Chain A
Amino acid sequence: MSATFHEAGYAHLVELVHQKDGGARRQLASVRLTAYDTAGVCHVTTELDPRQEILDLDALLGQACRAHGRLLAVFDARYDPTVFPYRPHHYAYLQRRDSAAPPLYYAVNATLGGVPDRIGAVALNNFESYLFLDRPLTERYALALGNLSRFATAEAQVISYYDGARLTEEVRLPPKAHTEIPLAPEHDGQRLRRVELKSLFRLTSYVVGRRAREDALVLFDHLFTYFK
């Protein structure tokens, strides 16, 4: 599965098929879109035409977003069974309407859906990080997190690093629930330098940066696991 977040007021076009997926190699058999509010309640379920290349997410979710706030949009793509398992890797174009902020183009999170990276793992073993510029800008940062699992509540730690200090926030997300954890740009006069996310299994996770003036997204990017 893959997942992203959608908010009202944004043009949001999602490329359903990865451009390097030659039709002869990987046939997209079906795509189901479901969308959940922050509590994990499903508000939209729809089967998409797998021949469709670009999906206008706002056309499908805009109304539900206005009623229920930010939604977690989940793409459950099924491919030719002979190439299973395959996690779709696709991109999307995102821009706040009537904003001076530039559009963003980002890789939609591929997420395991609640399966630990190592079966039997009992410790927080999924680890991602992201670095920030050391500048006194007015941009507001956050980490958007969603739990795609069907049954398991996710426990995670969000650790923010400042020069000489680290702040840890515990996060608990029921299935399909999501949240946005604000990251303070400063702590005791020190700038935010880095954030880390630790969890038992892979969550939907994006680093979020918003222009203070218009609240428009200028960062919406995946975190990084280290090179193996």
Chain B
Amino acid sequence: MPAIIEVNNLCKTFGEVSAVNDVSFLVNSGEVYGFLGQNGAGKSTTIRMLLTLIRPDSGSIKIFGLDLKQKRIEILRRVGAIIEKPDLYKYLTALENLRIFGTISGVKLSSKDLMSRLEYVGLAERANSKVRTYSQGMKQRLGIAVALVNNPELIILDEPTNGLDPQGIADIRNLIIHLSHEEKKTVFISSHLLSEMELIADSLLIIDSGKKIVEGRLAELISPEKSVVELITVDKAATLNYMMSSPWKENIKEIADDKLILEMKKSRIPDLNKELVNHNIAVISIRPVHSLENFFLSKTQ
């Protein structure tokens, strides 16, 4: 797969603070690339450098194989982005905002085309309302519509699910999957919702204090061999007794007050359940916890 984004040795300092410190990564065409990090890790700074809002102190950025410094306008015509919360022109309607950003992005869209963009994000009925009357969720959806207005090949989303309710979050997830799988777009997304990222990302990079911690395919980083499973039973003592005297002993990772935390293959959960039942241990709950969250925390703490 050809690389859509190629970042090499990117550095940016603000005063004495090193916001981005020698970060390199590669985003391949058609993939959903997760960009993860705690608050202040350098995610937004990196994204702003990708969109030429900030100039890097050193390093190089290539998008679509073109140098960003030399071919900025050509590149940005093929990119759509939301940075943090999408602040749009509050005194204009959704339609007017969309038309403006479409024009600026180099596309001339008819009112019909613009309305279809708004339908895509579920805002067609409020097309002629001023943005100042929108809820946060509606603004977020409009922001996504603005990011997609020029039918970009690369979509950069910085915290796209901010302010959305669970249904809204699910809608964004489905939209990203659709964009990636059906429309073959490349999506570069930063988010705090690790559970969501685990569901949609193909590759990811974790950044902490401006430095790259890890990068790679999600499937390779989050090993199915090492899923974390949470076990809650009626009689914890009896459960512990049994497990310590069985091969399951190797899988015990942590003994909490009300549960056991195990590290094991997800596919072996039914086997464990069966054996506990056979040994008269009543199981309340046995489930895998989010692998990515654990992986993330393990890397950043």
Q: Determine if chain A interacts with chain B.
A: no
